Amino acid sequence: MRTLRLLLDQMLDEEVAGALRAQGHDAVRASDIGLATADDQAILARAIGDNRLLLTLDEHFGDWAVLPLSDHPGVVRVKAAPATSARILNVLLPFLEKTADRDFRDHLVIVRPAGVRWIRTGGLR
């Protein structure tokens, strides 16, 4: 399994970041790099600029009218209700363990307890 470079959106806490680091991933929280109150566009721009896979709970990343996705390192949206750190990690860690070697570039991946959906969002030229 390769190490993933991850940017965690604001709603993902230190417990999630720590668990990802313990799995060997390079995980950075948006709030730790001055993006605690940044909008989705700024966070996505930072993920692209730093070549990091963006992890989020935010449904706006699936709404291209709100936030168009094109040419990006990948976005993983976790759906776990209620969105506690434990539930998020129960969904996210097994997914990453199985798919870390896969190419996330230009994909929105929706991960939920019932399964995973890969949506190609960019690079369609």
Q: What is the pLDDT of residues 47-57, one digit of tens each?
A: 999 999 999 99
The span from the CA of 37 to the CA of 14, in Å, is 16
Tell which wins on pLDDT, 124 or 32. Answer: 32
94 burial type by CB count under 10 A (0-12 exposed, 13-18 middle, 19+ buried): exposed
Q: How far apart are the C-alpha atoms of 105 and 123, rounded to whole Å?
A: 9
Instruction: Report yes or no on 17 lying in a domain.
Output: yes
Answer yes or no: is pLDDT of 116 > 60: yes
Distance of CA 53 to the CA centre of its chain: 6
The reported pLDDT for the residue numbered 101 is: 84
- 113: containing domain: 5-120
- Does some domain include residue 125? no
69 found inside a domain: yes
Q: Domain tally for the chain?
A: 1
What is the pLDDT of the chain when averaged over all its residues?
A: 88
Does 11 reside within a domain?
yes
Distance (Å, rounded) from C-alpha 32 to C-alpha 109?
24
Describe the crossing of helices 85-99 and 14-22 by its angle, rounded to 10 degrees.
30
Question: What is the spatial distance between Cα 85 and Cα 14, in angstroms, rounded to a whole number?
Answer: 9
